Chain A
Amino acid sequence: LAKTTQPISMDSYEGQEVNITCSHNNIATNDYITWYQQFPSQGPRFIIQGYKTKVTNEVASLFIPADRKSSTLSLPRVSLSDTAVYYCLVGGNTGGFKTIFGAGTRLFVKA
């Protein structure tokens, strides 16, 4: 299973765009990249998933370069309520998709 490396923490201000990069050098051909958000005392919440290039939804964008060894979660115009832990995961649909979470990135959004 591919391991991921993310910054431990990041600070931002309201209204700014935040980019969180995740390294996954050992990603396998059939692995997808998934990001979750977690608030204190809650379970993680699915944000976005992609395989290559760019994926965008109403919450975020996910940029994946051609070599797929990294990915960047982009949060446009963050607000105080985006303060949370963000997890990057890689995994495939084989073997039951045993999802491995790292320690995540703690994002602090300031007023």
Chain B
Amino acid sequence: DTGVSQNPRHKITKRGQNVTFRCDPISEHNRLYWYRQTLGQGPEFLTYFQNEAQLEKSRLLSDRFSAERPKGSFSTLEIQRTEQGDSAMYLCASGRGSSTGPSPGYTFGSGTRLTVV
């Protein structure tokens, strides 16, 4: 168990460019979440996958954002035509969920810090 891995750790991009982040969850975890966190705030939910199915998307996730989780393994988050307001830490978390019982505590990655200049 190597934890949740996110790449890259840091990304600086020019406004208008597209960026893609990758998350490798803990292998046996079927649930995967993406969050965005700005300085001084708690993480904001973006989207959620159970296996390969994207089951929920936040209204924060504009049309410029898209996430995939092919084959229920790693996930990618793409931001098209980046804006300065997209500058934030993007966090991925994974967990082992079931239809009954308590919600699991999730394991977070260290995040990808995006700076749009």
List residues of chain A with CB under 8 Å of any chain B CB: 32, 34, 36, 41-46, 49, 51, 85, 87, 91-93, 95-104
Contact = CB atoms under 8 A, between A and B. Distances in A.
Interface string B45-84: 1001010000110000000000000000000000000000
A99 B105 contact: no
A87 B113 CA distance: 21
B48 A104 contact: no
Contact of A93 (B33, B103, B108): B103
Contacts of A49: 102-103, 105
Contacts of B102: 32, 49, 51, 93
B110 A101 contact: no
Given A42-B110, A43-B108, A103-B41, A98 B48 contact: yes
Interface in B10-45: 31, 33, 35, 40-45
Given A32-B103, A43-B4, A95-B56, A102 B109 contact: no
Contacts, number: 71
Nearest to A104: B42
A41 B110 contact: yes
Contacts of A44: 43, 91, 93, 108
A7 to B, nearest CB: 14
Contacts of A100: 45
7 contacts: A42-B108, A46-B106, A49-B102, A87-B42, A97-B103, A99-B103, A103-B41
B112 to A, nearest CB: 10
